[in-house]
A and B are shown apart, each in its own frame.
Chain A
């Protein structure tokens, strides 16, 4: 019971409409014909983190996800699915499952994360520094997929990123701006800057939403600051900001450190001379700490550490939180980041299920996937696309850069480019789609042309 893992799987995200529907919550959206949540779960499983709590917004989504998990991971993982009300934010979700948290450290992972950074290294960094929080950062996604919270403002599609301040060793998090703040001027606290001397301000890093928290701290913050809604925008900035003047009752967690400092603190002269000589101590946290109990009758100044683990550029790390990101991730998983998919590729660098049927003169290019039981007519062409299970595709159909989910029927002579076609959609003959999203169960009438549209059934 070292680390307890909380997977925040979200619910029916509004940004992902029409991809997300009542039958398919965000966590079950297919990435290369597997629910996106399976990528996180398998990553955790590989790191031997098998004790999970999956938090889902709304009961109905929890039922769907719970059903899927119990069928897919019945013997492999010990998963508890907890349903929380909608729109309470990530911090609210953790508050709601507070009583489930028992381990000394909590790893919080977003359920929409597709990445190959082992959570173990984040946990190790966290433990090594005895940090109150450790966040994983990765480079901004290149394709312009946007960074927006799973709970917060989702109206703007404009490019957002975090502004992160790091110490020179790139181990500690000294400044963080998220949400609307990144659009404003950067304001850095001088007290932290004074203590550390040099701060690296980066705009090219993204908060990947994988955090390790000290449980006692997390619970304390969540209980005391009832207004906090989001981990990324409220809890993390708060902890970073107050790190040199901790307001946390660390429950004696740092008593060990205090003990170490006592030797130095016995001799005020040493500390004083250090001060005068501007001696640089190995860690600015310790300097601050040494200043405290050194016999000057100063109340010890409490500090806590906020650490980061920065994923290297070769790692893949993207969150599925926009339609653009959905397409990008699907493309990448069967393309550049194919090691994530878990499938074995054919000599043509594609995956065609043995049960799929291809008509004559039909070609499936590299970086494509064709699910089981799907049928294609004659003279079709598929490039850089994912086609789900049990689809029926007519003749003379072109599918480029698109995602076709399960049980889709496509009539003869259709052309689909850069689009997402959800499950149970019917495309009649000669439909032309370009950069469209078609919601589940929609019927597109014959011969119609659509460009850059979102087609879905009206909600009843």
Chain B
């Protein structure tokens, strides 16, 4: 269902009168607080689970993630939420209906569906088109767990807006020091470097992905801000308070997809619009986004340890059934069949209807509803969802086990294992660490660049296929596929098991430990410490440090090096330019484009490459001769004919770039135009290098050019005299043309 609200016109159409603005201000004040909830993270980090279910519906301590977000938004005073669904949109809408979020008084939830959004940018553009956002709004994704009060941040945002209409966004951040060794936060996200003005809290720099050893702040920043705090100890909560301009910015920049990598960077780099982004740091409240399996683990533990109060298992908020809190953070639903000899350790949640067999031990884990856990089972640090059957004697460590999974007796799950929906693991099978098992086969890698671009490159899976398209396709095939591949699948997860073990894509395997639910093994930590130590050494030795005074003395030589670099660039530029001109000319030939249009195109090329008109004439001539060359020419004379036709046809084009005689006389330039010499030189160069065929007919072509008034005699004579001092090899063509120049000389003398 695509819900549309009859949106009022925003801002009242920009009337300039004082009355109109007053009205709009008043209107802004009356607007109920709105929120956009993105129920799609546009990432693939939770695969293979997300092939069957949208991430926002995955249970977090037995409650779907989206319910945490919605419950928080409701309690924070948001009155209208637009839930943007893309992948598995139907499931999301179904959930919202079943859990009656649609039927809340004073809290309206509207679903907006789309099938083809590939990023947050598309989502926001769609919402912008629907014209439903009327004032400041909260932008969150559906995997956010928070208990912060929005009032303070919102107040700050509105206050800033009143003073400066360019302050369009306030980002919520919180204190969280990334580990200097693993360089990731406790949520498993990459280290983040931010520069913030300590007085105004304006965000000046944001970098979450870079291998560079230094943070580079633009020099102009310091002239505007006398003091800047560079942070490596803050975490982005992905809760943004935005003004409507944010949506229109997305609409204006159709290539923005990622909220941080594109939008934020674009705003920080671009000073044309002058938009500013500010930060709001929360001190005592909780806010975190579930970005990967590690943050799933971390946030779950935070919930159990009640950092997210009131969003905890024993408080009835939306969508959870009540559980009783025992000592040491043990939550137990009312109906749990627990054997007397079973031990349930601290910080564990057991859902209702679950039975636990004798001598089983569970600690630091979450067990969902209706699970059957056999005897002598040990579960540590696991997330067991609903209706899971675990037979006797299994050992599970730091694993995620989805709904309906059957784990036969004696199975061992090594740390970091993810078992997707309805997987069956055969008897006595040992599932290796960090493996992901699903009923679906791993999608074959497709090089759809879009996905590659927007998917997180550090995620375990880079399989690029559209998140939204795939599941439906798979569903149709699944029945056949399952029966067909049953045998093969069985072998992958032990006898009697069903499921495919996904291979992690090449290269990213080593990074698997980063985002897994399992804690980082000590051996790994040591290894990283070693490498980071060594890295430090390398960096120091490299001397690719901020150059300090010691390098200053070399500034002269450094400058000359710079100059060389520039030179290379120019050459490269020219080559590109030449190629483009050639392509343009070719197209002109094929499509019979008018000269004026070609001139227009070449001019714009010239401007974009910042070259002189002389370069244009050279490049154009080059492409003409090339095209003449490409036409069939059995003998040299045919080649001359070819060239003649091309040149006659496009004479006007060349002449445009070679100022006419009258002008030249008018300007009293005694020496001939350098542009024309450029053409001759270009031709000479061609004969020597790229198009040797011309070398035999050099003089003929030269004559042709002279006859067609493209090149004047002064130019030819000047060229000849210029070449006089050159090497013998260079003089090859001058000699060829000797007769011609002689004739020209005589002719000009006669004229005089």
A291 in the interface, Cβ–Cβ < 8 Å? yes
Report A191 CB to chain B, min CB distance, Å.
Answer: 5
B483 in the interface, Cβ–Cβ < 8 Å? no
B526 in the interface, Cβ–Cβ < 8 Å? yes
- Enumerate chain A residues within 8 angstroms of B180, measured Cβ to Cβ: 194-195, 287
CA distance A194 to B536 in the complex (A): 12
Report B155 CB to chain A, min CB distance, Å.
Answer: 25
Partner-contacting stretch, out of A275-283, A305-313, A314-322: A275-283
CA distance A195 to B180 in the complex (A): 6
- Type the 1/0 row for B504-531, where 1 means its CB is closer than 8 Å to any CB of A: 0000000000000001101001100110
Q: Which of B215, B216, B537, B553 contacts A193 (CB 8 A)?
A: B215
Contact A193 B226 (CB under 8 A): no
CA distance A97 to B634 in the complex (A): 85
- Enumerate chain A residues within 8 angstroms of B198, measured Cβ to Cβ: 200
Partner-contacting stretch, out of B19-27, B312-320, B544-552: B544-552
Contact A165 B230 (CB under 8 A): yes
Q: Which of B212, B213, B525, B550 contacts A234 (CB 8 A)?
A: B550
- Enumerate chain B residues within 8 angstroms of A228, measured Cβ to Cβ: 549-550
Q: Which residue of A lies closest to B180 (CB)?
A: A194
Report B416 CB to chain A, min CB distance, Å.
Answer: 16
Report A1 CB to chain B, min CB distance, Å.
Answer: 31
CA distance A196 to B228 in the complex (A): 15
Q: Which of B179, B213, B222, B545 contacts A203 (CB 8 A)?
A: B222
A347 in the interface, Cβ–Cβ < 8 Å? no
Report B250 CB to chain A, min CB distance, Å.
Answer: 29
Q: Which residue of B lies closest to A279 (CB)?
A: B177
B651 in the interface, Cβ–Cβ < 8 Å? no
Contacting A at CB under 8 A, from B190-222, are: 191, 193, 195, 198, 212-219, 221-222
CA distance A298 to B530 in the complex (A): 7
B540 in the interface, Cβ–Cβ < 8 Å? yes
- Type the 1/0 row for A197-228, where 1 means its CB is closer than 8 Å to any CB of B: 11111111000000000000000000001011
Contact A181 B232 (CB under 8 A): no
B183 in the interface, Cβ–Cβ < 8 Å? yes
- Enumerate chain B residues within 8 angstroms of A238, measured Cβ to Cβ: 548, 550
- Enumerate chain A residues within 8 angstroms of B223, measured Cβ to Cβ: 203
Q: Select the residue from A184, A186, A203, A276 with max chain B CB neighbours within 10 A.
A: A186
Contact B232 A194 (CB under 8 A): yes
- Enumerate chain A residues within 8 angstroms of B183, measured Cβ to Cβ: 194
Contact B229 A232 (CB under 8 A): no
- Enumerate chain B residues within 8 angstroms of A183, measured Cβ to Cβ: 219
Contact B179 A237 (CB under 8 A): no
A434 in the interface, Cβ–Cβ < 8 Å? no
CA distance A272 to B519 in the complex (A): 12
Count of chain A residues with a beta carbon within 8 Å of a chain B beta carbon: 58
- Enumerate chain B residues within 8 angstroms of A291, measured Cβ to Cβ: 181, 529
Q: Which residue of B lies closest to A246 (CB)?
A: B540
- Enumerate chain B residues within 8 angstroms of A248, measured Cβ to Cβ: none
A245 in the interface, Cβ–Cβ < 8 Å? yes
- Type the 1/0 row for B218-249, where 1 means its CB is closer than 8 Å to any CB of A: 11011100111111110000000000000000
- Enumerate chain B residues within 8 angstroms of A204, measured Cβ to Cβ: 226-227
Task: Determine chain B's interface SS by DSSP, over half rule.
Answer: mixed
Report B211 CB to chain A, min CB distance, Å.
Answer: 10
What bracket does the count of chain B residues touching chain A fall in? 35 or more
- Enumerate chain B residues within 8 angstroms of A287, measured Cβ to Cβ: 180
B592 in the interface, Cβ–Cβ < 8 Å? no
If the complex has contacts A194-B180, A272-B525, A301-B533, are A247 and B215 also in contact, measured as CB distance less than 8 A? no
Contact B548 A233 (CB under 8 A): yes
Contact B546 A187 (CB under 8 A): yes
Q: Which residue of B lies closest to A168 (CB)?
A: B229
If the complex has contacts A185-B217, A194-B191, A199-B230, are A237 and B549 also in contact, measured as CB distance less than 8 A? yes
Task: Determine chain A's interface SS by DSSP, over half rule.
Answer: mixed
Q: Which residue of B lies closest to A269 (CB)?
A: B522
- Enumerate chain B residues within 8 angstroms of A175, measured Cβ to Cβ: 546
Contact A198 B233 (CB under 8 A): yes
A346 in the interface, Cβ–Cβ < 8 Å? no
A179 in the interface, Cβ–Cβ < 8 Å? yes
Contact A244 B536 (CB under 8 A): yes
- Enumerate chain B residues within 8 angstroms of A202, measured Cβ to Cβ: 226-228
Q: Select the residue from B193, B536, B548 with max chain A CB neighbours within 10 A.
A: B548
If the complex has contacts A198-B229, A280-B177, A298-B529, are A188 and B546 also in contact, measured as CB distance less than 8 A? yes
CA distance A367 to B251 in the complex (A): 64
B176 in the interface, Cβ–Cβ < 8 Å? yes
- Enumerate chain A residues within 8 angstroms of B212, measured Cβ to Cβ: 190
Q: Which of A178, A196, A198, A203 contacts B226 (CB 8 A)?
A: A203
Contact A275 B179 (CB under 8 A): yes
CA distance A230 to B548 in the complex (A): 11
B355 in the interface, Cβ–Cβ < 8 Å? no
Contact A184 B219 (CB under 8 A): yes
A189 in the interface, Cβ–Cβ < 8 Å? yes
Report B570 CB to chain A, min CB distance, Å.
Answer: 23
Report A161 CB to chain B, min CB distance, Å.
Answer: 9
Contact B548 A201 (CB under 8 A): no
B186 in the interface, Cβ–Cβ < 8 Å? yes
Q: Which residue of A lies closest to B207 (CB)?
A: A190
Contact B548 A241 (CB under 8 A): yes
- Enumerate chain A residues within 8 angstroms of B729, measured Cβ to Cβ: none
Contact B548 A234 (CB under 8 A): yes
If the complex has contacts A179-B552, A278-B178, are A185 and B218 also in contact, measured as CB distance less than 8 A? yes
CA distance A177 to B533 in the complex (A): 25
- Type the 1/0 row for B413-452, where 1 means its CB is closer than 8 Å to any CB of A: 0000000000000000000000000000000000000000
If the complex has contacts A201-B195, A202-B227, are A278 and B176 also in contact, measured as CB distance less than 8 A? yes
If the complex has contacts A193-B193, A233-B552, are A245 and B525 also in contact, measured as CB distance less than 8 A? no
CA distance A178 to B549 in the complex (A): 7
Report B2 CB to chain A, min CB distance, Å.
Answer: 45
- Enumerate chain A residues within 8 angstroms of B177, measured Cβ to Cβ: 197, 278, 280
Contact B227 A201 (CB under 8 A): yes
B555 in the interface, Cβ–Cβ < 8 Å? yes
Q: Which residue of A lies closest to B175 (CB)?
A: A197
B539 in the interface, Cβ–Cβ < 8 Å? yes
Contact B555 A180 (CB under 8 A): yes
Q: Which of A185, A237, A280 contacts B548 (CB 8 A)?
A: A237
Q: Which residue of B lies closest to A186 (CB)?
A: B217
If the complex has contacts A225-B550, A237-B549, are A245 and B540 also in contact, measured as CB distance less than 8 A? yes
Contact B228 A181 (CB under 8 A): no
CA distance A404 to B216 in the complex (A): 48
Contact A191 B536 (CB under 8 A): yes
If the complex has contacts A186-B219, A189-B213, A298-B533, are A227 and B233 also in contact, measured as CB distance less than 8 A? no
CA distance A244 to B536 in the complex (A): 9
Q: Which of A181, A203, A278 contacts B546 (CB 8 A)?
A: A181
Q: Which residue of A lies closest to B519 (CB)?
A: A276
- Enumerate chain B residues within 8 angstroms of A296, measured Cβ to Cβ: 526, 529
- Enumerate chain B residues within 8 angstroms of A419, measured Cβ to Cβ: none
Contact B232 A241 (CB under 8 A): no
CA distance A237 to B212 in the complex (A): 20
Contacting A at CB under 8 A, from B592-651, are: none
- Type the 1/0 row for A164-178, where 1 means its CB is closer than 8 Å to any CB of B: 010000000001111
17 inter-chain pairs at a CB distance below 8 angstroms, sorted by A residue, are A153-B552, A175-B546, A177-B548, A181-B547, A181-B552, A186-B222, A187-B215, A198-B229, A199-B231, A201-B195, A202-B226, A202-B228, A225-B550, A228-B550, A291-B529, A298-B526, A299-B533
Other 4 A-B pairs with CB < 8 A, given A188-B216, A203-B222, A227-B553? A188-B215, A233-B549, A241-B540, A275-B179
Q: Which 5 A-B pairs have the closest CB atoms?
A: A233-B549, A197-B233, A237-B548, A186-B217, A204-B226
By a beta-carbon cutoff of 8 Å, the part of chain B in contact with chain A is 176-181, 183, 186, 191, 193, 195, 198, 212-219, 221-223, 226-233, 519-520, 522, 525-526, 529-530, 533, 536-537, 539-540, 545-550, 552-553, 555
By a beta-carbon cutoff of 8 Å, the part of chain A in contact with chain B is 152-153, 163, 165, 175-181, 183-191, 193-204, 225, 227-230, 232-234, 237-238, 241-242, 244-245, 247, 272, 275-276, 278, 280, 287, 291, 296, 298-299, 301
